[in-house]
Amino acid sequence: MDLRGKTILLTGASSGIGLALSRLLAQEKVKLALLARRENILRRLAVELKSSGSVILPLQCDVSKKEDIRKSYLEVKSQFGQVDIAILNSGFSHRAGVEHFEVDVARDIFDVNVFGMLYFIEELLPDFKCRKEGIIVGVSSLSDCRGFPRSGFYNASKAATTFLLESLRIELKKFNIKVITVKPGFVKTEMTERNQYHMPFLMPADKAAGIIIKGIKKEKRLIQFPLPMVLGTKLLKAMPDFMFEMIAGRIKK
């Protein structure tokens, strides 16, 4: 698929994978709506990308707020006419052990990682169904494979995301709407900067963004990387529970 001329809506554009995606997508001569909460970063980014030949629309949006999503989507439609591809990438993680078991943290994570995506899909679907076209790209994670200690809220949010996207992909086929699931391994971003444990095959955000864009152009149903991590998570998933618990139980940080 040629991205030139397409209208792309991207959430979580202010840092990490989203920021890298913004810079690479702008090179494709597209109409690009960049969403996140930190408006100052988005405005600076829009100035930076001005000479790319793409049309850039920075929009402040908190994806945990349904009203923000509705307002942003209407603004994108009024400026660009329609959305062809929505890349729903906003997300955050939080690691804490049972010593700090706070349901409010779980709610915050689900509000952004799961409901932030679902609210957007709710807005997009009527238009996509009517046009019988559209691509939804949802960013999940390879960490959806099992419940790791201290990361249960995040892992559960990503497992939910993966399952929701999969069921939507099957159901939306008859409307010619494509659903792509992105499952990165460790990527060097603000999110992983806080991690104090070893992150195998950690890759730069621009490399991850390049793989994601290549996958979108090929309209792959699943974009997962890097390969050693993909194979590793398959192994973890197939592993007997007692063995996983023994290995994961050794994770200290």
Ligand X SMILES: NC(=O)c1ccc[n+]([C@@H]2O[C@H](COP(=O)([O-])OP(=O)(O)OC[C@H]3O[C@@H](n4cnc5c(N)ncnc54)[C@H](OP(=O)(O)O)[C@@H]3O)[C@@H](O)[C@H]2O)c1
Interface with ligand X: number of residues (CB under 6 A)? 29
Stretch that binds ligand X, among 62-70, 124-132, 218-226, 242-250 (CB under 6 A): 62-70
Q: Which of 9, 59, 76, 112 binds ligand X (CB under 6 A)?
A: 112
Q: Which residues contact 209 (CB under 8 A, 6 or more apart)?
A: 17, 20, 21, 23, 24
CA 2 vs CA 22, 25, 85, 172: distances in Å: 17, 12, 12, 22
- Comparing CA positions, the residue from 91, 77, 184, 183 lying closest to residue 134 is 77
Taking residues 14 to 33 in sequence order and writing x for each that binds ligand X by CB under 6 A, - otherwise, the string is: xxxxx---------------
Stretch that binds ligand X, among 9-17, 77-85, 145-153, 212-220 (CB under 6 A): 9-17
Stretch that binds ligand X, among 44-52, 83-91, 163-171, 216-224 (CB under 6 A): 83-91
12 counts as binding ligand X under rule CB under 6 A: yes
Q: CA-based angle 148:151:155, to the nearest 5? A: 75
- Comparing CA positions, the residue from 245, 246, 224 lying closest to residue 146 is 245
Q: Cα separation of 94 and 136, whole Å? A: 26
Taking residues 196 to 235 in sequence order and writing x for each that binds ligand X by CB under 6 A, - otherwise, the string is: ----------------------------------------
Q: Smallest gap, in angstroms, from Cβ of residue 81 to ligand X? A: 24
110 counts as binding ligand X under rule CB under 6 A: no
CA 69 vs CA 99, 103, 237: distances in Å: 35, 24, 35
72 counts as binding ligand X under rule CB under 6 A: no
Please confirm, yes or no, whether 119 is among the known catalytic residues.
Answer: no
Q: Cα separation of 105 and 234, whole Å? A: 28
Q: Which of 63, 86, 159, 177 binds ligand X (CB under 6 A)?
A: 63
Stretch that binds ligand X, among 34-42, 163-171, 214-222, 243-251 (CB under 6 A): 34-42
- Which is closer to ligand X, CB of 39 or CB of 127? 39
- Comparing CA positions, the residue from 26, 16, 34, 234 lying closest to residue 146 is 234
Q: CA-based angle 70:76:78, to the nearest 5? A: 100
Q: Which of 189, 215, 224, 233 binds ligand X (CB under 6 A)?
A: 189
- Which is closer to ligand X, CB of 62 or CB of 122? 62
89 counts as binding ligand X under rule CB under 6 A: yes
Q: Cα separation of 233 and 246, whole Å? A: 16
- Which is closer to ligand X, CB of 166 or CB of 176? 166
Q: Cα separation of 111 and 108, whole Å? A: 5
The site for ligand X (CB under 6 A) is made up of: 11-18, 36-38, 61-64, 89-92, 112, 139, 141, 184, 186-187, 189-192
